Amino acid sequence: MTATVRPAPVIGGVAPGDRLDLRICWWITVGFYGLFGVIFVLLARVMPPPGADLSTEQIVAFYADHRTTIKIGFGILMVAIGGAAIASGIVAYEMTRMSVGKVFVYTYIVSLSVGALPGCLLAAICCLTATFRADLDPQVTELLFDITFLSFVGSLGCFVANYSILALAILLDENEVFPKWMAYVTIWQIVTELLAAPVFIFRTGPFSWNGVISFWEGTALFGIYMMLLIRLVRRNITTPAAVS
Amino acid sequence: MRRRLLAMVPSGEDLDVPGSINMWLFVVGELFIFAFYFFVFMMYRTHATADFVGSQRHLNLAVGAGNTVILLTSSYLVALAVQAAREGSHDRARRLVRWTVALGVVFMTIKLGEWAYEVRHGYTFPSDDFFMFYFALTGVHLFHVLMGLGILGLVLHELRTPALQRQFVVEAAGTYWHMVDVVWIVLFALLYVLR
């Protein structure tokens, strides 16, 4: 992608420059997503998700096997979740440099903020409850397990709005803050989010919450999207402007 | 090494493609994504061919074929619109794009009617693996038709505004609409025809 090495555009006669405050926010963003990956994949073991067709006994065993790591992982997340605000804030800052109206920025921030509740916090809290209250009725544990993964994989409305508004902003932006192809990469996220909706219906197969389409394909494309977005923000905040 | 690799990738301005290089990247990516869905469909179908064929009999081949003709015709019209825009006949191009939009709407209406028919007869999303793929894949395709109609709406705005009328926008929209058509042809073959 040649666009990633081009100098950042100058907007309103002001070069984005090499600003320390933005660099700090960028590193916090990278650190937050790194921590997010460690917590969800290595500690809490919810990525990749366990099967949607587990029996009650298997679910109880899942929590028993990973009790300590879930407590450590999601316990850290309860403290570090604020990093999500900086991660969306730095993209919102880039959007303020676009030629589009501020309503795009507000929509981006609000949709991510609301989406983080079912997409991250509710899942983590249900998982923590199931592990900290080990004497729960197994059927209640099963309910918490279902809520964890249905909200984690199946909550998509706010994210669809989030991706849509970012894609539209990039396409309409005349300042070329982000290259146009990034809008299309963002549109792919909308499609994969929509295909996560069937997780409420299917317990097995490609559209279950650990299915090859609903989970794996969406996660792979999200990884690519996130890396490109972080890379482009980095380009904009560190590359000296071509014209001053 | 990295710089040498990057030098091998032509930038947008260096590539002489109709429309926009970004749209081509988008279309190629979309085709990869759909190819993945088709691959997963074929994996499941191979393991239960008889079941898939049994459920497939509940689809109406004539309706599927009719929708294929409608979409192919719309693709032909959008190609004519690109041609007209190239020749500077923007009014003609606009009329052709309007017809393309109309056929896209007809396609969507028929598809929604077909869904309603299947559901009324008890064939729903969770009925079996075939109908799971049928509703999911035609649903994703329908979403792309909807996006295509949005893009064509943008083209109508371009063609109506003398200060705009940018050729690459018309061509990029045509590129996207052809992709929607190509994907449908494969879907039609997999869901309706393949025995």
Mean pLDDT per 10-residue interval, chain B, length 195 residues: 53 62 90 95 94 92 95 96 90 94 97 96 93 96 95 91 82 93 96 90
Q: Which residues contact B82 (CB under 8 A, 6 or more apart)?
A: B18, B93, B170, B171, B174
Asked if residue A121 has pLDDT above 80, the reply is yes
Instruction: Report the pLDDT value the prediction gives residue B7, as an integer from 0 to 100.
Output: 54
Instruction: Report the pLDDT value the prediction gives residue A3, as an integer from 0 to 100.
Output: 44
Q: Which residues contact B15 (CB under 8 A, 6 or more apart)?
A: B21
Residue B118 is assigned to a structural domain of this protein: yes
Instruction: Report the pLDDT value the prediction gives residue B2, as an integer from 0 to 100.
Output: 56
Q: CB of A179 within 8 Å of any CB in chain B?
A: yes
Residue A241 is assigned to a structural domain of this protein: no
Q: Which residues contact A53 (CB under 8 A, 6 or more apart)?
A: A203, A204, A208
Residue A4 is assigned to a structural domain of this protein: no
By the 8 A CB rule, do A74 and A39 touch?
A: yes
The 10 Å Cβ neighbour count of residue B5 is 8
CA distance A183 to A225: 10
Residue A209 is assigned to a structural domain of this protein: yes
Residue B139 is assigned to a structural domain of this protein: yes
Residue B143 is assigned to a structural domain of this protein: yes
Asked if residue A244 has pLDDT above 50, the reply is no
Residue B160 is assigned to a structural domain of this protein: yes
Instruction: Determine which of A168, A176, A191 to mutate to test the interface with B (most B C-beta atoms within 10 Å).
Output: A191
Residue B13 is assigned to a structural domain of this protein: no
The model's pLDDT over A176-225, given as tens digits with 9 standing for 90+, comes to: 999 999 999 999 999 999 999 999 999 999 999 999 999 999 999 999 99
Domain that holds residue B72: 2-8+18-193
DSSP H or E stretch at residue B82: helix B61-86
Mean pLDDT of A51-74: 93
Instruction: Report the pLDDT value the prediction gives residue B195, as an integer from 0 to 100.
Output: 82
The model's pLDDT over A88-118, given as tens digits with 9 standing for 90+, comes to: 999 999 999 999 999 999 999 999 999 999 9
Domain that holds residue A142: 16-235
The model's pLDDT over A129-155, given as tens digits with 9 standing for 90+, comes to: 999 987 899 999 999 999 999 999 888
Residue A122 is assigned to a structural domain of this protein: yes
Provide the percentage of residues in chain B whose pLDDT is more than 90: 74
Instruction: Report the pLDDT value the prediction gives residue A4, as an integer from 0 to 100.
Output: 46
Q: Which residue has the tokens 């919102």?
A: A92
By the 8 A CB rule, do A227 and A29 touch?
A: no
The reply to whether residue A206 touches residue B29, judged by beta carbons under 8 angstroms, is no
CATH code at position B147: 1.20.120.80
Task: State whether residue A201 is helix, strand or coil.
Answer: coil
What distance lies between CA A191 and its chain's CA centroid? Answer: 15
The reply to whether residue A188 touches residue B143, judged by beta carbons under 8 angstroms, is no
Q: ipTM value, please give it.
A: 0.83
Residue A66 is assigned to a structural domain of this protein: yes
How many domains are contained in chain A? 1
Instruction: Report the pLDDT value the prediction gives residue A129, as an integer from 0 to 100.
Output: 94
Residue A243 is assigned to a structural domain of this protein: no
CA end-to-end span of chain B, whole Å?
50
Instruction: Report the pLDDT value the prediction gives residue A97, as an integer from 0 to 100.
Output: 92
Q: How confident is the model at residue A17 (pLDDT cuts 50, 70, 90)?
A: low
By the 8 A CB rule, do B183 and B144 touch?
A: yes
How many domains are contained in chain B? 1
CB-nearest to B29 from A179, A184, A195 is A184
Residue A3 is assigned to a structural domain of this protein: no
Instruction: Report the pLDDT value the prediction gives residue A161, as an integer from 0 to 100.
Output: 94
Asked if residue A2 has pLDDT above 90, the reply is no
Q: CB of A174 within 8 Å of any CB in chain B?
A: no
